[in-house]
């Protein structure tokens, strides 16, 4: 199995949210050209091929999924199956 490098804590984490597409982009350090690996649940890990270093994360539909989750929890609380 291949290993991935998670380097020391980066001094700078950059992020950008595309509201129209509902996509959150997070880059560790300076954004680099990398290959995306879909790990499921709308999460893509970006890996620099030559060093196998994780350079960022892309999260698809974070706003929609968060709001849906909150709505589901409210419905569950109203039905009495989840205690606040």
pLDDT tens digits along 25-45: 999 887 778 999 999 999 999
What's the whole-model pTM score? 0.74
Q: What is the mean pLDDT of residues 48-64?
A: 92
Contact status, residue 10 vs residue 58, Cβ threshold 8 Å: no
| Residue 1: inside a domain | no
pLDDT of residue 58: 97
pLDDT value for 77: 65
Beta bridge partners of 59: 24, 43
Residue 3: inside a domain: no
Res. 18 pLDDT band, cuts 50 70 90? very high
- Per DSSP, what are the bridge partners of residue 46? 36, 56
How many domains is the chain built from? 1
Q: Could you list the residue range(s) of the whole structural domain that residue 27 is in?
A: 13-79
């Amino acid at each position: 199995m291949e290993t991935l490098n998670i380097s020391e804590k980066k001094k700078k984490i950059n992020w950008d949210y595309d509201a129209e597409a509902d996509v959150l982009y997070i880059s560790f350090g300076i954004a680099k050209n990398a290959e995306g690996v879909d790990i499921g649940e709308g999460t893509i890990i970006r890996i620099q091929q030559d060093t196998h270093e994780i350079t960022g994360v892309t999260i698809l539909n974070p706003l929609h999924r968060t709001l849906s989750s909150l709505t589901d929890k409210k419905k569950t609380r109203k039905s009495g199956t989840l205690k606040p």
